[in-house]
Structure 1
Amino acid sequence: MTVIEPHEVVSCLEQDKAAADDQAIVQLMFLDADLMPVGTGRPRFHGVTYSDRGLFDGIAALHRDLAHGEDELDLESSLIRLLDVLLTRHADALGAASPTLRPRSLRQVREMLHSQLNSNIKLDDLAAVAGCSKRHLIRSFRQAYGVPPHHYRTLLRLARAKSMLAAGRSVAETAAELGYCDQSQLNRHFRREFGVSAGGYARSVR
């Protein structure tokens, strides 16, 4: 995994002559400066190339989710989580963390997630309700409720989906009503959380 800081030149990777006939696939991710921590100065990285299998796998999974058209809240939350891991493991110290949000702000965010379960809520929308940065919101929400906002909403959706499927609704109807782009997206979330597809769950409870 290679990290290029802002204003540095991105050059093509040189292939080994012995591997000249092989194909190399390079996936790039450009990060907006607004996603970086606020008030601590620009982080500096210790090197250029890092052997970090866990982080590599997380970034690869994010690329796959982008290709599958996953929900924007899930994608941006995953990106910020991976960026936090990158900064924590491989950048200079970022200074003291911001204090957690007040309970009232977090309740307002949670109420928004409950009331707009089938909407394509963005992390910007939730941060605006909380009155803080996206990174601060994710950290504070996780501390208060055990999971970040996007995972909390996924659990809410899946709980509703289980009720709908048990009541005889089809997987396609359930996915559409809960704001998933198609039933394959609902199935992916079901397998990730419960180890079974939505259709498999429906058959087991009817």
Structure 2
Amino acid sequence: MSGTRAERQVRAWRPAVAGITEVLRARFTDHAYPVHTHDTWDLMLLDDGMVDFALDRRRHDATDVGRVVLLPPGVPHDGRTVSPLGFRKRVIYLSTAVLPERLAGPAVDGPILGDAALHQRVHGLYAALRDERDDGPEQCEPGDRGSGHTLEAESRLAFVRERLLAHLDGHRVRAPGREGDRLAARLRELLDARIGDGLTLDEATAILHAHPTHLIRSFSRAYGLPPHTYLTGRRIDRARRLLLAGERPVDVATAVGFYDQAHLNRHFTRHLGVSPARYARGGRRR
């Protein structure tokens, strides 16, 4: 590339969420992927610039940053920059446990999805996965401690999956009925009983015999907030009581289910406007 220095920035990690094998953020000013395949679904947001790719020997031009690109497993594809400015992208790699491989055909026919709601859901999922990466360990297994973030990411993944199934398989969403209030109450009881240990979405759906998105919608309709937000709030409430009782923030963090003190600090400050240590000092002075 004349007059432009080639730049390549890549950051990847493995989140603690079942069904997601890898998350990647990248910026390229001059790069071409050779033809290759994956054993995962590649869910991509193009954040800036232009990228050209071929899927099953058909070329596509993904130039609209508001669109979502979905590449199916086992199908050859490539990718390349097409302008001196290059492109920025975020990719979430989904296993075939999230989307069955039998849906590869519709994805090959239409890999570029101009769906604003889907774009928003994928953006929210990426933010939850990045949140977990920034606050938690480098790598951890699904269901590890700190599943408040895991519950959020699992919930967001369920809604991404629902939207993708609508595109690939004609899936229709059922609105919660009166049974939704009973489901919501039972889920709240589970969350209250598992404040410290946390609760994954898979565990909740198995115990309550409910579909993930139906369960989340029922809870949100009944209580005005999603389950992961409710759980974080309950943890903050418990942390306040322990801090005022003289417990150290580092001990409080793990006692109420956060990864570590930094994780507690960020959520506590977001809720109350002060750090846990400052909150505790104020209580001692009074």
Aligned to 2:239: 161
* Cα deviation, residue 145, structure 1: 1.4
Aligned to 2:158: 80
- After TM superposition, the score normalised by the length of structure 2 is 0.56
Distance in 2 of aligned mates of 1:194 and 1:146: 20
Q: Tell me the number of residue pairs that the alignment of Structure 1 and Structure 2 aligns.
A: 198
**Is 1:183 the equivalent of 2:261?**
yes
Distance in 2 of aligned mates of 1:146 and 1:35: 29
Change (3 A) 1:5 1:11: closer
* Cα deviation, residue 193, structure 1: 2.7
> Quick one: which amino acid aligns to residue 99 of structure 1?
P
Q: Deviations over 1:90-138 (max 9, x none)?
A: 8897435143335443322221211121113211111122211111110
Choose which of 163, 172, 176 in structure 1 pairs with 2:250.
172
* Cα deviation, residue 73, structure 1: 1.6
Aligned to 2:124: 58
Q: Whose radius of gyration is greater, 1 or 2? A: 2
Change (3 A) 1:9 1:134: same
Change (3 A) 1:5 1:137: farther
> Quick one: which amino acid aligns to residue 199 of structure 1?
A
Confirm or deny: 8 A CA contact 1:118 1:177 kept in the other structure: yes
Change (3 A) 1:4 1:158: same
Choose which of 57, 81, 97 in structure 1 pairs with 2:174.
97
* Cα deviation, residue 173, structure 1: 1.0
Q: Secondary structure at the match of 1:114?
A: helix
Unaligned runs of 5+ in 2: 1-44, 46-67, 137-145
* Cα deviation, residue 10, structure 1: 6.3
* Cα deviation, residue 195, structure 1: 3.5
Higher relative contact order (CA 8 A, sep 6+): 1
**Is 1:196 the equivalent of 2:274?**
yes
Unaligned runs of 5+ in 1: none
Aligned to 1:108: 186
CA RMSD in angstroms, aligned pairs only = 3.5
Distance in 2 of aligned mates of 1:139 and 1:47: 28
Change (3 A) 1:14 1:151: same
Sequence identity percentage: 31
Q: Identify the structure with the greater strand proportion.
A: 2
**Is 1:30 the equivalent of 2:102?**
no
Confirm or deny: 8 A CA contact 1:108 1:129 kept in the other structure: no
> Quick one: which amino acid aligns to residue 172 of structure 2?
G
